Amino acid sequence: MEYAARGGETVLNRPMRLALVFVAALTLNACSREAAPGGTASAEGDGTAHPEIWPEYKYPVPVDPAVEAKIADLLKTMTLEEKIGQLVQADLCCVTPDDVRKYNLGSILVGGNSGPNGNDLSPAPDWLKAADGFYLASVDKSDGGVGIPVIWGTDAVHGHSNIIGATIFPHNIGLGAAHDPALIERIGAATAKEIRVTGQEWTFAPTVTVPQDYRWGRAYEGYSSDPKLVASYVGAMVRGLQGTPDETNLLAHDKVIASTKHFLADGGTKGGVDQGDAQISEEDLRDIHGLPYGPAIQNGVATVMVSFSSWQGKKLTGNKSLITGVLKDRMGFGGFVVSDWNAHGQVEGCTNNSCPQGLLAGLDMYMAPDSWKGVYEDLLKRAKAGEIPMERIDDAVARILRVKFRLGLFEAGKPSDRPLAGDWKVLGSPEHREISREAVRKSLVLLKNQGVLPLKAGARLLVAGDGADDIARASGGWTISWQGTGLTNAMFPGGTSLWAGLKQAAEAGGGSAVLSPDGSFTQKPDAAVVVFGEKPYAEFQGDRATLALDADLTGPYATMKKLKAQGIPVVAVMITGRPLYVNPALNAADAFVVAWLPGTEGGKGLADVLIGDAAGKPRFQFTGLLPAAWPKTPDMADGALYPFGYGLTYATPRAAWKALAEIDESSAGDARVYFTKGVPASSWSLVLGNIDRGEEKRITTVPADAIGGRAHITATDAAVQEGARRIVVSDGGAALAVSSHDPLNLSRETNGDVMVLFTVKVSKAPAKAALALRCDGSGCGSREPVTLPVTNSFVRYGLQLKCFAGKGADMSKVTAPFILETTGPADYALAEVRLGTDAEKVLPCN
């Protein structure tokens, strides 16, 4: 029990913590074990589960004979086309009400980047209007159909988080720190109400993942690394969203249906790779990742979303032993199973447009955002050919109808006629914001306090750091946009940035506050709060190679040191989706608070706890406890600095601070950057050769000549001195590549909107140019002709990875994600090559 010893006093002071630490020790043991005692458990199976070793539960939603009779009647009346339509869900990007009418689609969704009228940022009333439009089309029987009402799914994962003006609650990792299931239920109930205002019926939440590796870009979507803590929340969240299990006719009230995701072991993949492979034993699969599904089922969760990821090398979306054998038959799940965003296309032998394997494995509804028509036609064709048993189709349709009946969808009328619809004052209401503010207070974790906190009411404060006045930054991914990027404070009406919350509280207490991102001041403050940390990301875009804070975000460390050197007490406040190695900040600051991703009420909740009363007493206590262990090093090599369940309070006796070891972080890079500031990232090379790959030369030092003297390479300035490589080709064909010996699997990036981004300045445009991608094997690359005009400054171009895949490249073993091929004389400079979505100019894919 190395953990109990560390920070031991504070832990032992509190029985609650002791209990949690004990659980942590168990969990950590569980995760690190390769095989269960007795040697029966092995991580080396073929992805076939043994349902008999899984627990049995009772799905509590009462079977209503009247409803069952209606379902049976409908199944008799529906055509095969109508049945197949129910099994398909399309994204708003790519479907119209007319499509819903014609194909009888069972559901629509709004993905992270979609919105009504093609606009992610559409105002709330447009969502309700769109909901009416799709609903009315779905029930239109003028074409002679049965007219089954459609349901609309949305990622309301921390409040109704796609909508401008909604209350944004802390992301789940922060809620995990609050260890308060009753609070979780109130958050669920508030979220359900806000969803009802804009007319949707279904949220793809709660995420009940149990992350075991915080390099994973989705770790913040999970409450905790501890399965028991996660499980203790799930029932509460499901009840908050859906009501109690015996409740039906939910749309007559103020509820929506929930979806626990992502089944199963999305947080257990090797290396924390998003959409990766959980190479774990079936016992770990059950005891760590399966645990939260118990309370979900026992509380009647209506839907379960299957994970993109694999278990023992086999994609979950096609895994019959887990979906049908374990989830439905053994655990007794009585709702319907939905897949994830084109995840069926990743199943062995499938494509986005064809995957009967999903339905055969037990999937009931395909999330086929842009591929719905292909999936529909393919399923129909195969059903007609007898390749899919009719019983399976009827079972899937019946499960979907059962949920629709439970909602009361058939009697609910159009979305705008239902309770709460269009009641705009409920969206972001003061009551809901108050719950969020309470959640922020309870989620804050205090890691260090050398007597600076609470800040005195009446004090003169300086608020510094690059993240202080940025609500989007404090909200993280899955906020209004998919990645949570491209947003300004104006897009959070009613929200309060950390800076604004501190300022309001300081002034209310008779003090003052100034905002100064770089920490400079004219009048010496009594104390400084320096806000720093991660920037928003979602899914695989947040995957990292290590647990280091991205190097470009560590600037505020210097600000902390500078302020402290001037004799000013410093409070560091970290915005983050995960525990990270931040020893320099822990050393530099006098107090250190982890704020996680607190959302729109972050500023108010933070100020409640940080700023005391006039007598210098706290107004609110710190009660938050780490929902996952905090790393000592970026590679976690030396175990945890602070264990799961750790957190100081205002009552913790102060101990002398022992300086933490600081390591050289310059080696810990961002896995998605291949070439930066004119040099290749570690394990990458810059190579110049003929287009046919002859005469390739690795450019290690400059100046250099290549391809028989036809090309000359020098260093040139970009954002920083010598921040680019200039390539002058006198004539003929040339190919500049950024390549690696270790093939890179870019399949999951390709599945999204990720681009290869390259920053160039062209001084002489080549007669012809193309962007190519190379992979390991013969003939598995592809190329896209591009036009790169002369510009007088650097431009960050982007080409979607999908473009290469569409032209036949094998994205699972890429050796050169960037090759610029030119013909004729050319002169250009290359500063950076990386993956991302923030292109200044998107190149067309022809």
Count the neighbouring beta carbons within 10 Å of the beta carbon of residue 793: 6
340 is catalytic: yes
Give the integer Cα–Cα distance in Å for 24 and 30: 9
Q: Active-site residue among 132, 180, 340, 753?
A: 340
Nearer residue to ligand BGC within complex by CB, 734 or 754: 754
Name the H helices within 372-489: 372-384, 390-407, 430-443, 471-475
Q: Which of 318, 320, 302 is nearest to 310 (CA)?
A: 318
Tokens of 744: 């890179």
Least distance from ligand BGC to the Cβ atom of residue 204, Å: 4
Nearer residue to ligand BGC within complex by CB, 54 or 341: 341
Nearer residue to ligand BGC within complex by CB, 158 or 261: 261
Burial grade of 230 (CB within 10 A; 0-12, 13-18, 19 or more)? buried
Q: Which of 767, 761, 765, 756 is nearest to 816 (CA)?
A: 756
Least distance from ligand BGC to the Cβ atom of residue 310, Å: 14
Least distance from ligand BGC to the Cβ atom of residue 368, Å: 12
Least distance from ligand BGC to the Cβ atom of residue 213, Å: 17
Nearer residue to ligand BGC within complex by CB, 78 or 108: 108
210, 225 contact by CB (below 8 A): yes
Q: Which residue is nearest to ligand BGC (CB)?
A: 111
Residue 485 main-chain phi, psi, to 5 deg: -110, 170
Nearer residue to ligand BGC within complex by CB, 112 or 678: 112
Nearer residue to ligand BGC within complex by CB, 292 or 525: 292
Least distance from ligand BGC to the Cβ atom of residue 307, Å: 8
Least distance from ligand BGC to the Cβ atom of residue 484, Å: 12
Least distance from ligand BGC to the Cβ atom of residue 837, Å: 9
Name the H helices within 78-180: 80-86, 97-103, 124-139, 172-178
Give the integer Cα–Cα distance in Å for 70 and 639: 58
Q: Active-site residue among 91, 226, 539, 832?
A: 539
784 is catalytic: no
Tokens of 562: 């500078």
Least distance from ligand BGC to the Cβ atom of residue 338, Å: 9
Peptide bond into 598 cis (omega under 30): no
Q: Which of 275, 261, 266, 376 is nearest to 751 (CA)?
A: 275
Nearer residue to ligand BGC within complex by CB, 138 or 161: 161
443, 549 contact by CB (below 8 A): no
Nearer residue to ligand BGC within complex by CB, 260 or 298: 260
Based on its alpha-carbon atoms, the radius of gyration of the chain, rounded to whole angstroms, reads 27
| DSSP string for residues in 737-776 | EEE-SS-B--HHHHHTT-EEEEEEEEEE--SEEEEEEEES
Positions that interact with ligand BGC (CB under 6 A): 109, 111-114, 155, 204, 261, 340-341, 482, 539, 751-753
Residue 753 main-chain phi, psi, to 5 deg: -105, 25
684, 739 contact by CB (below 8 A): yes
Least distance from ligand BGC to the Cβ atom of residue 376, Å: 19
Nearer residue to ligand BGC within complex by CB, 27 or 107: 107
Nearer residue to ligand BGC within complex by CB, 109 or 830: 109
120, 408 contact by CB (below 8 A): no
Nearer residue to ligand BGC within complex by CB, 107 or 751: 751
Nearer residue to ligand BGC within complex by CB, 284 or 539: 539
Least distance from ligand BGC to the Cβ atom of residue 351, Å: 16
Least distance from ligand BGC to the Cβ atom of residue 132, Å: 22
Q: Which of 246, 292, 242, 244 is nearest to 265 (CA)?
A: 292
User: Would you say how long the chain is, in residues?
Assistant: 846
AA identity, residue 121: L
Pairing of strands 88-91, 107-110: parallel
- Classified as helix, coil or strand, 733 is strand
Distances (CA, A) of 209 to 156, 159, 218: 16, 18, 9
Give the integer Cα–Cα distance in Å for 325 and 340: 20
- Cβ-count burial 463-491 (b if 16+ within 10 Å, e if not): bbbbbbbbbbbbbbbbbbbbbbbebebeb
- Classified as helix, coil or strand, 305 is strand
Would you give the end-to-end CA distance of the chain in angstroms? 59
169, 221 contact by CB (below 8 A): no
Least distance from ligand BGC to the Cβ atom of residue 478, Å: 8
Nearer residue to ligand BGC within complex by CB, 10 or 191: 191
Tokens of 489: 């404070």
| Contact residues for 419 (Cβ-Cβ < 8 A; gap 6+) | 196, 251, 252, 253, 254
DSSP H or E stretch at residue 197:
helix 181-197
Least distance from ligand BGC to the Cβ atom of residue 158, Å: 12
Pairing of strands 259-263, 303-306: parallel
List, by residue number, the catalytic residues: 340, 539
